[in-house]
């Protein structure tokens, strides 16, 4: 989501004559787009600001900006830590950037943070996409779920869906420009359309509409909230040939009591049933997840359930993190239940070890199978050109084929599996 926001910010800046440079020493304007999902990412943002602040002492004309979730969370108090900052703008203020930029160019110090997002047609603004093959389209912003550990509802606000017509128009433009993959983005994409009071506006129907667009391209969507995945969505994924058979469904914990403490609206059993339903429908599907180690009060037995879930569900890949207390959140206030850093990181290490084991096992299941892949980039190794591609189910596949290039779809027969990727050869 942040990367997508950055592409939108870069697009607006280019409209003002700003050009992206490769060496930040040449910059007139430096903006850091921040994430506050864990303390580590917020700390990194402040340390980067510190580096730029030092630079401003010898180059007083440079302008420094901070945006994203840390800006939304810390607001004007950022000035106390970093008085040299010229521009602070929140997650809801990106589309006000045209006026904000003019103000800082006139020497003003600006802090623009609101809790009420301006709803606008995002297609009125230019986007400077980083990639030439994959393009992101945010379809819903914000979150209403209030998981007890998570700061997102406080930094990104309540759920707001974009109009389907606007999304379809953006998708048409993307395809016209030659992109081969569209990823629909949202904190909880399954909630798409619920704020419109129109039962026909759903993620499933949006997929059906996008699937009708002409051209050779494929569609992904992230992130799905486990208990919000409807049968209609699963039907739509099956019906739509352009939609990838891939689901990212964060489980967070394999223990029902911890899930309740996290305010996740499903039990371990319900999550297992969802995975089973999806695996029964799509034989080569990949299911990935997120897990948190060391949630406040988590016992060793409860953590063990998480390790077991990863293994029993044969998850294809999981993002893992040690619990990090966040401002405003319920869990952040459970200080008497906090586990020591030592316990959290020891559990995280075991979780990562299990993840590697399970990923390798799941990759090995694809040896001997043929997967349809999209070439995303190429690298040279020992005088050979290696094509780096991604299968429909999101697995990374490396192979050699002189007849193919970045942006091509092709079939690859898998002949080797490693923990994080597959190797194969073109089929004839
Ligand atoms: N909307 C998605 C997740 C978005 S946040 C969902 O509901 O699943 C991305 C991931 O960051 C989460 O899945 C969670 O695993 C992790 N995360 C969020 N808050 C965290 C915290 N306080 N400490 C550690 N990890 C956290
Ligand atoms: Fe955070 Fe939960 Fe919303 Fe995901 S669903 S963004 S974890 S509050």
Q: Domain ends where: 327, 346, 364?
A: 364
Query: What pLDDT, in 10s, does the model give residues 366-415?
Result: 999 999 999 999 999 999 999 999 999 999 999 999 999 999 999 999 99
* C-alpha separations of 267 from 75, 227, 318 in Å: 37, 9, 18
**What's the number of CA atoms in the CB half-sphere (13 Å) around residue 316?**
22
Same-domain check for residues 154 and 135: yes
Low-confidence ranges of the chain (pLDDT < 50): none
Check whether residue 206 and residue 345 sit in a common domain: yes
- Whether residues 311 and 181 fall in one domain: yes
Tell me, rounded to whole angstroms, the distance of Cα 121 from its chain centroid.
Answer: 22
158 belongs to a structural domain: yes
- 81 is in which domain, residue-wise? 2-112
Pick from 140, 146, 156, 332 the residue to mutate for probing ligand 2's pocket: most ligand atoms within 8 Å of its CB: 146
CATH of the domain at 408: 2.40.50.140
- Identify whether residues 127 and 259 lie together within a single domain: yes
Q: How many angstroms separate the Cα of 301 from the Cα of each of 253, 256, 260, 356?
A: 12, 12, 16, 21
Considering the entire predicted model, what is its pTM?
Answer: 0.96
Query: Are residues 210 and 325 part of one domain?
Result: yes
Q: Is the distance from the beta carbon of residue 145 to the nearest atom of ligand 2 less than 6 Å?
A: yes
Do 261 and 318 lie in a common domain? yes
Q: Check: CB of residue 423 under 8 Å from CB of residue 399.
A: yes
Last residue of a domain, one of 342, 364, 386: 364
**Is the domain of 260 the same as that of 299?**
yes
- Report the CATH number that the domain containing residue 98 is assigned in CATH: 3.40.50.12160
The DSSP secondary structure of 298-310, one letter per residue, reads: --HHHHHHHHHHH
105 assigned to some structural domain: yes
Instruction: Give me the number of domains the chain comprises.
Output: 3
A 10 A CB-CB count for 129 gives 18
Domain end, chosen from 323, 340, 364, is at 364
| 117 within a domain of the structure (yes/no) | no
340-361, pLDDT tens digit by residue? 999 999 999 999 999 999 999 9
Domain identity same for 210 and 302: yes
Identify which of 35, 37, 150, 191 to mutate to test ligand 2's pocket (most ligand atoms within 8 A of the CB): 150
Q: What is the pLDDT of residue 118?
A: 76
Residue at 355 is within a domain: yes
């Amino acid at each position: 989501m942040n990367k997508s926001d950055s592409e939108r910010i870069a697009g607006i800046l280019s409209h003002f004559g700003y050009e992206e440079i490769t060496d930040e020493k040449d910059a007139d304007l430096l903006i850091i787009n921040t994430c506050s999902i864990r303390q580590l990412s917020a700390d990194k943002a402040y340390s980067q600001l510190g580096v730029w602040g030092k630079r401003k002492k010898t180059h007083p004309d440079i302008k420094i900006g901070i945006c994203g979730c840390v800006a939304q969370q810390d607001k004007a108090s950022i000035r106390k830590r970093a008085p040299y900052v010229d521009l602070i703008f929140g997650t809801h203020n990106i589309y006000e950037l045209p006026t904000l930029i003019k103000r800082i160019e006139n020497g003003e110090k600006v802090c623009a943070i609101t809790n009420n997002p301006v709803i606008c047609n995002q297609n009125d603004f230019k986007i400077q996409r980083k990639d030439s093959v994959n393009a992101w389209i945010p379809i819903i912003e914000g979150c209403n779920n209030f998981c007890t550990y998570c700061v997102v509802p406080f930094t990104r606000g309540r759920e707001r869906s974009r109009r389907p017509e606007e999304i379809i128009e953006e998708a048409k433009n993307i395809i016209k420009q030659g992109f081969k993959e569209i990823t629909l983005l949202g904190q909880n994409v399954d909630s798409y359309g619920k704020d419109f009071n129109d039962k026909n506006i759903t993620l499933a129907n949006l997929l059906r509409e996008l699937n009708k667009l002409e051209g050779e391209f494929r569609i992904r969507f992230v992130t799905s909230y486990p208990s919000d995945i409807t049968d209609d969505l699963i039907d739509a994924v099956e019906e739509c040939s352009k939609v990838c058979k891939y689901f990212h469904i964060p489980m967070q914990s394999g223990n029902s009591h911890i899930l309740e403490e996290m305010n996740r609206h499903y039990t371990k059993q319900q999550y297992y049933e969802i995975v089973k339903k999806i695996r029964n429908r799509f034989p080569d599907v990949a299911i990935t997840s997120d897990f948190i180690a060391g949630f406040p009060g988590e016992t060793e037995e409860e953590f063990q359930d998480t390790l077991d879930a990863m293994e029993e569900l044969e998850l294809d890949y999981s993002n893992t993190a040690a619990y990090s207390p966040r401002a405003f959140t319920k869990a952040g206030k459970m200080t008497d239940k906090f586990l020591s850093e030592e316990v959290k990181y020891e559990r995280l290490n075991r979780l990562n070890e299990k993840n590697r084991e399970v990923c390798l096992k799941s990759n090995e299941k694809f040896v001997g199978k043929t997967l349809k892949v999209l070439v995303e980039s190429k690298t040279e190794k020992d005088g050979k050109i290696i094509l780096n591609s991604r299968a429909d189910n999101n697995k990374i596949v490396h192979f050699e084929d002189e007849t193919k290039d970045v942006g091509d779809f092709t079939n690859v027969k898998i002949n080797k599996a490693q923990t994080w990727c597959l190797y194969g050869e073109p089929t004839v």
